[in-house]
Structures are given as structure tokens and as C-alpha cells.
Amino acid sequence: MSAELHERLYASLRRIRRVEEEVAKAYPSDCIRSPIHLSIGQEAVAVGACAELERGDVVFCTYRGHAAYLAKGGDLRRMLAELFGKATGCAKGKGGSMHLVDVANGVMGASAVVGTTIPHAVGYAYAVKMARRPVVVVSFFGDGATEEGVFDESLNFAALKRLPLIFVCENNGYAIHTPLLKRQPADNICERARSHCIPAQRLGNDVLLIHERISKAVRTLRGGEPGPFLFECVTYRLREHVGPGEDFHLGYRDRSEAAPFVRDDQVERLALLLDPGRRAAVDRQVEEEIRSAFDFARSSPFPAAEELLEDVGGE
């Protein structure tokens, strides 16, 4: 892989990590007006999956969606303004962290309800296929979403219609505090996809491997070959399910479980592949962008009172 690619992947990983670290610092001050679900530790999945997507391609993500939003090119200033509940936010300050959207950059919206964006992605992929538009659709979801009935329904329809769609399961092993094998009789997400005749691969948290395998699927779809594909990426969240802190003290998981993921931190791994001068330049650029985005969010106005009844349907 080229030095240019390593730098591009590192810049995206570093940007997401540092944004979320600063969000975690700001959260206790109550300036952030919504719950937050951080992707710290899981950034490699979104970065690897989105690296070869074009602006016209689209992603559907989960309430833990900061990484996918940013990796796909979502506007950082509008994302932070949304977290702050400001009128300049990507959802006008009404959706918060769990409902990020940037249609212009192909982020078609996140949802706080588990599994709901999976059929949205299938529907969008069906629409672009019917319209013969050269668009690749990516659906991000967690392992918990595979227990929703709509998951198998969506796989079946996507396979039947041979859609230009890539399912990406961010398997961090837990649905809130419950491990996978206490919720499912087998650790077999890929096997379930294959039962629908969908090619499926289980990957780890290696950003370079994720990039290689998913980029190949993207090129296949862009070349006109039928989909869908499924990739299960075994990853790990280092912060609590919801909130800025850690939660190992709760006893449902042990810090030793996180150790391999800390040791193989993909942000630091990619940093070591860069020329030190280039890494320093990337880091400076990231810090300046984040500072500017936080300034924008803090200085933006709150929505006007009359906005309360806008965008809610009805007359």
C-alpha cells in the first residue's frame, strides 16, 4: 500500500479519535445537549469501509455514528453544532448525536432505534438499482441489530434483488452490557448471511485489511456486478455504552478483554507507518480543524422558538 493511502487512513482515524476525545471532555459541562455513543476503539471499521467510497455513494449508520459520519465526509462543524443543540447543526439542533445526517456528503441519517437503518439502506439500494444510478450503498449496524427480525428480512430482499449494497456489522461483542453468546445461540453472523446466498467475511479491527476487502467489494459493485456483500468486523468500544467515561467497574466486562485492542490501536499503528514530519503536519491540521469546529458550535445560536413546530409533519 502507498504512503499516500497510509496518510489518508491515518488522517481519518486521528480526526475521529481526537474529535471524540474532545467531545468526551466537553460532555460533563452539559454544553452537549444529547446522549453520546462514542466510537473510540472502533474507528478502523468506518475508516476502512468508507475510504474508497465516492461522494455520491451513501451510508446509513447507527446511533454510534460519529465515526461513519466523519469517515464518509460529513461536515464536522455541523456535527458538533448538532451535538450542542444549535440551529446550525446538521439536523437544525433537533436530532443530537444519535441522528446525524449530511445528505450532500452521502450520510443518509442515523437512528436511535436499533436496526432501523438496515431496511432504509436496502430500500435506497433498490431505488438506485431501479434508476440505474452508479451508487454504492453501505449499511453500518452493530451485532445487537442482527437479533432484530428486520435484519434477516433485509438480507433476504437484498439477496433476492441482487442490490448494490454492502452490509457492515460492527461487532463489538455487546448489546449495551450483554455479551453476544448470552443473546444468541451461536456466534454465526456470517453463516446467517451465507444462508441467504450473500458472500460474507469475518474480519478483525485491522484498518488495512478492512480497507482492502471492502474496497474490493466497492469496486465490484461499481463495475456493475451484483451484490450484496456482508462484512463482520470484530472490534471493541473502549468507552461506556453511552457517555464519555469507562465502565469496566460495572463488572460485565474486564479490562483485560480490552488489552489486545489497546495494544493494536489502529490510530497508533498507522501513525508509525508515516514519515514523522507528515504525521506532525496531519496532527496540526486535525487539531486546528477541531478547534475551529468547536468554536463554531459554541458561537452558533440556538433554534428560534418557532422552530419547535417545524419539520414535525401535520399542518
Taking the C-alpha atoms of 235, 119, 175 and 152 in order, what is their torsion angle to the nearest 10 degrees? -90
Euclidean distance between CA atoms 282 and 270, whole angstroms: 12
Where are the chain's structural domains? 3-300
Question: Are 296 and 81 spatial neighbours (Cβ–Cβ below 8 Å)?
Answer: yes
Q: H-helix or E-strand containing 192?
A: helix 189-194
Question: Are 181 and 151 spatial neighbours (Cβ–Cβ below 8 Å)?
Answer: no
Output the nine-digit C-alpha cell for 43.
474507528
Q: What pLDDT score was predicted for residue 96?
A: 95
* pTM, rounded to two decimals: 0.96
First to last CA, the chain: 55
Q: What pLDDT score was predicted for residue 98?
A: 97
Beta strands in the chain (DSSP E): 58-62, 107-111, 137-142, 165-171, 174-175, 178-179, 200-203, 229-234
pLDDT at 41 over 70: yes
Euclidean distance between CA atoms 84 and 87, whole angstroms: 9
Task: Choose which CATH entry (3.40.50.2000, 3.40.50.970, 3.50.30.30, 3.90.199.10) describes domain 3-300.
Answer: 3.40.50.970
Q: What is the 8-class DSSP label of residue 87? A: T
For residue 179, what pLDDT band results from cuts at 50, 70 and 90? very high
For 223-247, the pLDDT digits (tens) are 999 999 999 999 999 999 999 999 9
For 287-310, the pLDDT digits (tens) are 999 999 999 999 999 998 888 888
* Residue that the C-alpha cell 474508497 belongs to: 52
pLDDT at 315 over 60: no
Q: What pLDDT score was predicted for residue 314?
A: 57
pLDDT at 109 over 90: no
pLDDT at 125 over 70: yes
pLDDT at 1 over 70: no
Taking alpha carbons only, the member of 69, 6, 77 closest to residue 38 is 69
For 193-220, the pLDDT digits (tens) are 999 999 999 999 999 999 999 999 999 9
Q: What is the mean pLDDT of residues 7-28?
A: 98
Q: What pLDDT score was predicted for residue 310?
A: 84
pLDDT at 59 over 70: yes
Amino acid (1-letter code) at residue 295: D
pLDDT above 90 covers a percentage of the chain that reads: 94
Q: H-helix or E-strand containing 268?
A: helix 266-271
Q: What pLDDT score was predicted for residue 33?
A: 85
pLDDT at 100 over 60: yes
* Residue that the C-alpha cell 443518509 belongs to: 108
For residue 313, what pLDDT band results from cuts at 50, 70 and 90? low
Mean pLDDT across the chain, nearest whole number?
A: 96
Q: What is the mean pLDDT of residues 9-24?
A: 98
